Amino acid sequence: MNQIPLTHILFVSTALFFIGMYGLLTRRNLITMLMSVELILNSVNINFVAFNRYLYADKLDGVFFTLFIITIAAAEAAVAIAIMIHLYRNLNSIDVEQTDEMKF
Amino acid sequence: MGIGLIAGLQQELAVVLIVIVLLFIKLGSDRYRTETILGLVNVLLGINLAAGLMMAPTQTVLFGGGFHTNELIILEKNIFNLGTLLISLQAYDWLKGHKLALEFYMLLLSTLAGLFFMISAGNLLMFYLGLEMSTIPLAALSNFDLEKRQSSEAAVKFIMSSAFSSALLLFGISLLYGATGTLDLGTLAASDDNLPLRMAGILGSTGAHALLVFAFVLLLSGFAFKISVVPFHLWTADVYEGSPVPVTAYLSVISKGAVFFAFIQVLYTTFRPLARDWYNMLVLLAVLTMLTGNLFALRQDKLKRLLAFSSIAQVGFILVGMTGSPTTANASVIYFILVYLFSNLGAFGVVAVVSAMTGKEGIDDYKGLYKTNPFLSWVMAISLFSLAGIPPTAGFFGKFFLLMSGAGRGNYVFISMAALNMVISLYYYLRVIKAIFMDANDHPIGRLKISLLPAIALMVCVAGVLLTGLLGWVYDYIYSLSANF
Amino acid sequence: MNLSLFIIIPLVTAVAVMCCRGLRQARWISLAGSLGQLLLSFVLLFRFGQERAAGNSSRMLFEYRHSWFAAWHIDYHIGVDGISVAMILLTAVIVLAGVLVSWNKGPWSKEFFSLLLILALGAYGFFLSLDLFTMFFFLELSVIPKYLLIGIWGSGRKEYSAMKLALMLMSGSALVFIGLLGLYYGSGHSFDILQLAQVPISAGVQRTFFPCLFIGFGIFTALFPLHTWVPDGHSSAPTAASMFLAGISMKLGAYGCLRVATYLMPDAAREYAPIIIVLATIAIVYGAFATMMQKDLKYINAYSSVSHCGFILLGIGMLTRAAINGAVLQMISHGLMTALFFASIGMIYDRAHTRMVDRLGGLLKVMPFISTIFVIAGLCSLGLPGLSSFVAEITVFIGSWQHPGTMYRLATILACASIVITAVYILRASAQTVMGPVKDPQFSVLTDAAWYERLASILLVAGIVVIGVAPFWLNDLLKPGIDAFMVHAGQTGLLK
Amino acid sequence: MSASALMFYILSAFILGAGLLAVTTRKIFRSAIWLLFSLTGIAGLYFWLQMEFVAAVQIVVYVGGIVVLIIFSIFLTQRSGMELPVPARGRILFSALAALAGFALAFTLIMGYHFQPWEGGAPLQGGMLAAGAAAGPVEAGGASIGNIGTQLLSADQGGYLLPFEVVSLLLLAAMIGCIVIAMKVKSADK
Amino acid sequence: MANYNYIAWIPLLPLAGFVLLGLFGRRRFRGFSGILGTGLILAAALLSLYAAWQYFGAGAGAAGVTAGGSAYKPILAMKFTWLSFSPGLSIDMSVLLDPISVMMIVVVSLVSLMVHIFSLGYMKGEERFGTYYAFLSLFSFSMLGLVLSGNIFQLFIFWELVGCSSFLLIGYYYDRPSAVAASKKAFIVTRFADLGFLIGILILSFYGETLDFGTLIHRLTTPSPQFLSITSASFLGFSLLSWGLTLVFIGGAGKSAMFPLHVWLPDAMEGPTPVSALIHAATMVVAGVYLVARLFPVFSLSDPPALGVVAYVGAFSALIAAIMACTQTDIKRVLAYSTMSQIGYMMFALGVSKYGGEGGLGYMASMFHLFTHAGFKALLFLCAGVIIHRVHSNEMNAMGGLRRQLPLTHICCLIACLAISGIPPFSGFFSKEEILLAAWQSNKLIYGVGLFTSGLTAYYMFRLYFSIFWRGPHGVRQAAGDPGAGDAHGSTPVSMNLPLVVLALGALLAGLIPFSHFVTSDGEPIDTHTPLSFSIAPVALALAGIGLAAWLYGTMSDRPRRLASAIGGLYRLVYHTFYIDEIYAFITKKILFNLVGRPAAWIDRNIVDGLMNGLASFTAWISALIKGMQSGKMQDYALYFFTGIAGLAVLFIYIWKN
């Protein structure tokens, strides 16, 4: 790992971030949108871990942040899925295009 | 440590304690009368507020900088305790018929605790946790009109938008962490490695400024999302409209207000080195926010949605105030949030009562309300006047001081834009007034019998709206606290 | 003398009215309250005269100062000079008259009276204030009651007019607000008028913020071309509100132009004087011509108010002693006159249910009292000697003429010419409405004024005649204030 | 190129490829599986970075928790084999544009700044860890499970007790929220 | 110095009458409002006579009329500041006594008294009897105040008040549309003229730095700094002094119905006839003459421009009014044009006059004619009143042969007609001769006009006289065939006859007063002697006019009609008074209303207000334009969200750098 510059890792994380964002913007299914969000969060995690490892290895701030992000992502995903399921019951669909009753 | 810990965390602990008590009640039995529970919760919230008010002023830093508190922060938390109590009182009619009152309070108070941790956060981790903690349960609360499709839709929009927003926020934090190596917000003078110093240290190097600005923009978007700054506001109206009224009220007042506190701290301490950049950014966003909020509010037919856009416009005004010098910005923003709390809760309180009893939420439904419900009409009118900044309501003073704070920088074009927006905003507030007082209606809302608790809440709001402005010491007190900030 | 009573009494009355039951109680309480105000203002006049006679020559009398927002150096600071005393007296008279003409106002009479009293409160506070913040507070305080009064109890396109009025006045106060902020930050962080007068305000600040203040206040005074709220607002408003709007509200703006904009920033005032004068002249002439074409009595009076208030602005813009004196006199005179006019129009409308000139006629036969009042108001409006307008307008003319310079002279001549046009429209209106044969047989059963209407009219006529016949006492009252104004303007070095 | 570097590039390609497929494939179940792969790849990356604990948590929580949750929810709401609806062309275009532009912007800015550790740390050389720097505190057991555990429950400077407790509260709230919402309300269907 | 403080009571007594009758005349004082008003004016008249006696008597006693020393100096009997503008400028309420003002108070109060008395009978039974007397008192007050003014602005104030009372009295029969229109017209036309007056005052007072007559005249007639400044300042080639004076004269011309501002006067005859006698014949209409006389010392300095204007306008008005009078058939309108013509005489007499000494003959003649004219013209109007009272018509064609039914009126009217025609020894002869003499001495053209006019005057007055009192039985039948009229007013009451007699005596005798001993341009008495030979031409012309009138109208015949058709178009032109009214109507209706007023109102509603409404619509339009942003679709929101971030970042990193 001594031969890999930090920027390469950052390239991966940034790319993953925008892949996730692309998914979030294009996917019409709410669950796939949630999956895209998870990808984005993971890209952030990579950032934290990489920075911690490369630059600030004397402390574990980045690592801990990553751990908490993972936890929260789980909680968020759980609540989101609960809401989606509820929506599915009400709407019989989880197509994001159909959640536009309120607008303008 | 122990006693100091408890003393410092008193307000948070009190809230958490209530959550736990409610949890035990829930686990213990499900044969309780909802009214009793509501009464109990409101009493507990009252005690919580009283305890917070009586709390000894302390200035503490706990958990190695993760948590800090001082008089101003205690005051802020008390404001939110008060707001939560008012919302809770107003929600009485709605919750009475709702099977999940206990869960409502558990979630609501969790978010309150989250907000408290967020304002007291000394580092970005605690800030992030607090933010999420005030978001995730709120998304669930948005869904609390379980049988309404709009409620679910609102919840989905809320949670997905906020997930996206917090992801961007985190990306910004990670870049900031990469650049400076610390998560400390820099609010603690003792810490020698806090963020602003490091930021200032690296600002000279190539690309640092650009990267920091980018990180700041990402961070800003996180804040802006929560406080509905244009163009990060788009979720607001839909979520406000779909959510149950008390949740909307909570979203628009408490959650927004708390993020403002955090935001202003971050701006003036953490990002002090970037002050010139964020000043211009705030000016731009404030103008956009006021204009967009107002222009959308002009065309609304539903009261809740109108109030949503109005609250967006109000955010623009708060941003104006935020551009002033640290002390005036802090004082005027906090003061305005207090004022805004009373005004907005007054308006939402009426909406809550009417919505809970009749299910009507359109402006047209309010036509002729004054004939049948003068009390509600006056509460609504006074609250709206306060939102519009009409004397003698506190909103006048609040807006005056916000703009005055902003004008301290000498950017009068900017202030003129704000003044222009005050005029535009008057139009839609007056539309509601017109509907209530002037328009004829064959089928007006009938004479409503308001329960005691909501009535008390409304009266408190009116009193607050009338008194916080006229009593000059309120502002002076906040100012004196802010001066130390 | 505790000047805060002027704020407390209307407030207490308004609250009491809200608490009472029914029209009967509401109107008596309001009457008592407004009588109290009138008495109080006479006491003030008397005490003021006493103080001055006793040699108290301080700039303001009965000053009271209480810190309000210490953090911003904002005080509740009130005090009076002769100009304010006169304006307060005017307010008290008009409020009382307004209460009287609304004697049978319904529905929601207690709200009506209460709002009227709050309007009065705003006006008193405004005239008393020596702190710009307080002043602004009271200025804005008076906007919304107007909206409600027009929107709820008005006639015609009332909602539209009310909204227009509220938005335009609010724009005005927004401009004033910017001006105030500029003044605050441009002068060492103070809102106190007396203090600000001591501080030299830089030319840049003056140049930037004078227009804000002047235009802002000017909107209240129907500064062309921002006067369009006047016709709609006045014509839709219920009688008492019209009286108040035209009688006092428009004077708030004029007073602000004088006491704030021009007084504190005389250099800029002189710099912008040509523009002010051009606008004022346009308002005078154009307002008069526009009036000529109106068919609705209220529109006639509203447009004529635009024209008449142009005299105020002209006087202020001319910046000579006599012109400013005339402007102040015109404020008072126009206040009384237009209130009387609206009162009589209101009485006619209440009975005939129309205000269209071409549908009325011969009212003198069926309601001689009201018609006489109408004609007196008309004669006052066209500047008949012996009535107040003459005094005011002549003073403005003489004062304006003192200003050398062809443009100023031309403006004065045009302003003078407008009195002919005024005569044309006033005479046309009164000829068609009160004179001639009774046009509609239904009119012949209409009743003449009731006692309260008579009382209101007599009160206003008395004011008009007293000023018209004996203007010297009013002039003496105003003199020290105007002198101080001129001295201050002279100190900053530009006025002769 | 050392094995380690090769490893990195393979992992990276795997992560990005799987991620890309996860957001583009038309079948929702496949999408979930690609996500699983991508997340596993990231766990691998953590291993590669010698952050074993994080990698473990990644696998346990993400792979074991979230993805399973997602798959369950797919089963609840979808027929597994169903094709996902195609988004509007305009949306794809704008989204791709936004993503590409965003990436370009973000990466330009990241590249534009030469990340250096704050005073005291070993400076990077050409963006890479200096040879000796690899043996930092992390090597000395900084990121060891024990160390993490101690810090997690410490209330002192650098301790994470408060976040830990807050997160527990958050999880409690989230749990309540999930239960309340996802629970079938009996009266709802009358 | 004698005490003249009581003079203030002369105007104040009628004012008291106005206040009392105005407030209580409708109910409480209804019964005796006429008596009250008359009593008060009687007191005022007695005071005026006493004042005249005291002023002229004391003057004569002190210095001797013929001594040629100092004569009647102006006396400022009273003065207090009414409204002060600046140290120099203030409106003072003052009482100025000098020969002309004393002469005027006598004339005004006496004629007013006569009219008051006459009205007791004439207006009896009117519904608004009290109001009528209130207005009359108001007028008397204003007119007396006007003539006593010692301050130019004070004069202006009363000037306006006079106009207002004239308006009120013309419109007394407010339910007649024609009366309403006439009152309106009178007010507006004089108002327009007053505009000139006002601006003139502004100019004179600005340079004179005073509003006080005495000081003003002093400053502007001596080479004081003020005089130099006003004469050196010029506008369009004339000095501001001339401008100021001309403008002041315009005011006077309006009030005195000089061409082209005379249009209101014939219409003003819609008022009750006694009112016409008082206001539109004897007193108010001569206010313009009085004004010029008051400022005469200044006028005389601006001889070519300002005074020339006075002369030519006066002469032209005299001529044209006489011509118009020849064709009118409404007796009051004939009298109105004759009034205008006679005032024209007075005006041009002033115009041709010089200041001081013998040159001031015109001035003195003008005042003399004013004095005599007041008497005989009031008499004529009162006679007309009696006739109208009897016949219930103003049309000459409806009358005839009334000499037997109204013998007293007939005699009085004859006296008045002779007086106005300038037949010796009636009063008009003396004054008119002097006017013509003055004109002869300075301007032959004007003299010619005056001479011709005097012939015309005789013609139209006797046309009137013969039409009413002679010309066959036609009118008799008419009158007798109207039993209602006969029963109601079987005989003319004493209250109406008494003033006729008094005024007829005046018309007979007033010419004998040695007027030039009392009233002259500089207060110095002068002696006048008109050569007998000079009188031949005017008297002969007058007699010729009378003869023509007798031939045409003495008996029933169709000669007038044939004559009229013979001159066809010219007759129609004159009959329609040269279409001046129509021209005015065109200017006001078409130009002012349609070209200025209507566009102004339209612009206000559509452009100025449209701008305001447009702003509102613009805002609403923008609002509608951007509503798509809030599409309700979450992914759009996210896209905006990210665009916002990217936009901000790019803006602040690359563009808006600090």
C-alpha R_g of chain E: 31
pLDDT at A18: 95
Strand duo E238-239 + E234-235: pairing: antiparallel
A and B touch with 3+ CB pairs <8 Å, answer: yes
Of C74, C136, C178, the CB nearest to B416: C178
pLDDT at E401: 75
- CB distance E648–B217 less than 8 Å? yes
Closest among B208, B205, B189 to B197, alpha carbons compared: B189
pLDDT at B456: 94
Interface mutation target, options A44, A68, A81, A89, chain B, most CBs of B under 10 Å:
A44
Closest among E41, E35, E49 to E13, alpha carbons compared: E41
ipTM of predicted complex: 0.93
What is the helix, strand, coil percentage profile of chain E, to 5?
A: 75, 5, 20
Chains that touch A (3 or more CB pairs under 8 A): B, D, E
Chain E positions in Cβ-Cβ contact with residue A104 (cut-off 8 Å): 627-628, 630-632
Of D23, D53, D178, the CB nearest to A36: D23
Domains of chain A: 6-96 (1.10.287.3510)
C and A touch with 3+ CB pairs <8 Å, answer: no
The residues spanned by each domain of chain B are 2-482
Q: Is the dihedral of CA E11, E16, E19, E25 positive or negative?
A: negative
Q: Does E606 reach chain A within 8 Å, measured CB to CB?
A: no
* Mean pLDDT, residues B268-294: 91
Residue E489 predicted with pLDDT over 60: no
Could you tell me where the DSSP H helices lie in C384-446? 388-401, 406-433
pLDDT at E483: 42
- CB distance E631–A101 less than 8 Å? no
- CB distance D102–E642 less than 8 Å? yes
CA distance A100 to chain E (A): 4
Residue B2 predicted with pLDDT over 70: no
pLDDT at C126: 94
Chains that touch B (3 or more CB pairs under 8 A): A, C, D, E
Residue E81 predicted with pLDDT over 60: yes
Reported as type and span, the H/E element at residue E234 is strand E234-235
Interface mutation target, options B295, B296, B301, B319, chain E, most CBs of E under 10 Å:
B295
Of B64, B198, B208, the CB nearest to D159: B64
Chain E positions in Cβ-Cβ contact with residue B152 (cut-off 8 Å): none
Chain E positions in Cβ-Cβ contact with residue B166 (cut-off 8 Å): none
User: What does the alpha-carbon distance between residue E400 and residue B158 come to, in Å, rounded to a whole number?
Assistant: 104
pLDDT at E65: 43
Each residue's pLDDT tens digit, D40-95? 999 999 999 888 889 999 999 988 889 999 988 888 887 656 677 888 888 899 99
Q: Does E627 reach chain A within 8 Å, measured CB to CB?
A: yes
pLDDT at E58: 63
- CB distance A23–D24 less than 8 Å? yes
Percent of chain E with pLDDT over 70: 93
pLDDT at E482: 45
Q: Does B326 reach chain C within 8 Å, measured CB to CB?
A: no
pLDDT at E480: 44
CA distance B298 to chain C (A): 13
Residues C171, C177, C182: CA angle, nearest 5 degrees: 135
Contact E594, A63 (CB under 8 A): no
E and B touch with 3+ CB pairs <8 Å, answer: yes
* Mean pLDDT, residues E48-75: 65
- CB distance B107–D176 less than 8 Å? yes
CA distance E194 to chain B (A): 46
Percent of chain E with pLDDT over 90: 7
pLDDT at D173: 93
pLDDT at E69: 45
User: What does the alpha-carbon distance between residue C489 and residue B51 come to, in Å, rounded to a whole number?
Assistant: 58
Per DSSP, the residues of E541-608 read HHHHHHHHHHHHHSSS-SHHHHHHHHHHHHHHHHHTGGGHHHHHHIIIIIIIIIIIIHHHHHIIIIII
CATH architecture of D1-89: Up-down Bundle (1.20)
Each residue's pLDDT tens digit, D15-44? 999 999 999 998 888 899 999 999 999 999
Contact B126, B173 (CB under 8 A): no
Chain D positions in Cβ-Cβ contact with residue E646 (cut-off 8 Å): 98, 101-102, 105
Closest among C289, C464, C453, C438 to C376, alpha carbons compared: C464
Residue B322 predicted with pLDDT over 50: yes
Residue B189 predicted with pLDDT over 60: no
Of D91, D95, D105, the CB nearest to E646: D105
Chains that touch E (3 or more CB pairs under 8 A): A, B, C, D
C-alpha R_g of chain A: 17
Q: How far is CA C58 from CA B116, C78, C191, C477, in A?
A: 55, 14, 20, 14
Contact E649, D105 (CB under 8 A): yes
Q: Which long-range contacts (CB under 8 A, 24 or more apart) does E510-513 make?
A: E510/E371, E510/E372, E510/E375, E510/E427, E511/E372, E511/E419, E511/E425, E511/E426, E511/E427, E511/E428, E511/E429, E511/E430, E511/E431, E512/E425, E512/E427, E512/E430, E513/E371
User: What does the alpha-carbon distance between residue C254 and residue C235 come to, in Å, rounded to a whole number?
Assistant: 21
Chain B positions in Cβ-Cβ contact with residue E652 (cut-off 8 Å): 213, 217, 277, 280-281
Q: Does E630 reach chain A within 8 Å, measured CB to CB?
A: yes
pLDDT at C335: 93
Reported as type and span, the H/E element at residue E96 is strand E90-97
Place of tokens 């509460």: B379
* Mean pLDDT, residues E317-327: 88
The one-letter amino acid at C129: S
> What is the chain D residue with the closest CA to E640?
D98
User: B383-387, E295-299, E529-533: which range is least confident on average?
Assistant: E529-533
* Mean pLDDT, residues C358-379: 87
Q: List all residues of chain A from 32 to 71 with a beta carbon under 8 Å from chain D.
A: 32, 34-36, 38-39, 42, 45-46, 49-60, 63-64, 66-68, 70-71
pLDDT at E390: 81
User: What does the alpha-carbon distance between residue B56 and residue B69 come to, in Å, rounded to a whole number?
Assistant: 12
Chain E positions in Cβ-Cβ contact with residue A37 (cut-off 8 Å): none
Percent of chain A with pLDDT over 70: 98
C414 Ramachandran zone, left/alpha/beta (phi>0; psi -120 to 50): alpha
Contact E253, E346 (CB under 8 A): no
Distance linking the first and last C-alpha atoms of chain C: 36
* Mean pLDDT, residues E150-176: 88
Chain B positions in Cβ-Cβ contact with residue C144 (cut-off 8 Å): 385, 390
Each residue's pLDDT tens digit, B452-462? 999 999 999 99
* Mean pLDDT, residues D152-177: 88
User: What does the alpha-carbon distance between residue C384 and residue C419 come to, in Å, rounded to a whole number?
Assistant: 10
pLDDT at C457: 92
Chain B positions in Cβ-Cβ contact with residue A62 (cut-off 8 Å): 174, 177
pLDDT at B477: 92
pLDDT at E59: 52
pLDDT at D80: 56
Chain D positions in Cβ-Cβ contact with residue E653 (cut-off 8 Å): 109
Q: Is the dihedral of CA E586, E587, E591, E592 positive or negative?
A: negative
Of D94, D111, D142, the CB nearest to A60: D142
* Overall residue count recorded for chain C in this entry: 496
Per DSSP, the residues of B304-352 read HHHHHHHHHHHHHHHHHHHTS-HHHHHHHHHHHHHHHHHHHHHHHHHHH
Place of tokens 């008010």: B53
Kindly report the average pLDDT of chain E as a whole number.
83
Between chain B and chain E, the number of residue pairs with CB atoms below 8 A apart is 81
- CB distance E643–D98 less than 8 Å? yes
Each residue's pLDDT tens digit, B104-148? 999 999 999 999 999 999 889 999 999 999 999 999 999 998 888
Chain E positions in Cβ-Cβ contact with residue A26 (cut-off 8 Å): 635
CA distance E623 to chain B (A): 5
pLDDT at C441: 82
User: What does the alpha-carbon distance between residue B458 and residue B472 come to, in Å, rounded to a whole number?
Assistant: 22
User: What does the alpha-carbon distance between residue C218 and residue C262 come to, in Å, rounded to a whole number?
Assistant: 12
pLDDT at D132: 52
pLDDT at E394: 79
Chain B positions in Cβ-Cβ contact with residue A20 (cut-off 8 Å): 167
Each residue's pLDDT tens digit, A47-66? 999 998 888 888 888 999 99
The residues spanned by each domain of chain D are 1-89
Q: List all residues of chain A from 52 to 71 with a beta carbon under 8 Å from chain E.
A: none
Chain D positions in Cβ-Cβ contact with residue B99 (cut-off 8 Å): 185, 187
Each residue's pLDDT tens digit, E20-31? 888 887 776 667
Each residue's pLDDT tens digit, C119-170? 999 999 999 999 999 999 999 998 889 999 999 998 888 889 999 999 999 9
- CB distance B280–E653 less than 8 Å? no
Residue E243 predicted with pLDDT over 90: no
- CB distance E89–C322 less than 8 Å? yes
Chain A positions in Cβ-Cβ contact with residue B121 (cut-off 8 Å): none
E335: tokens are 């009298």
Of E619, E641, E658, the CB nearest to B164: E641
CA distance B440 to chain D (A): 37
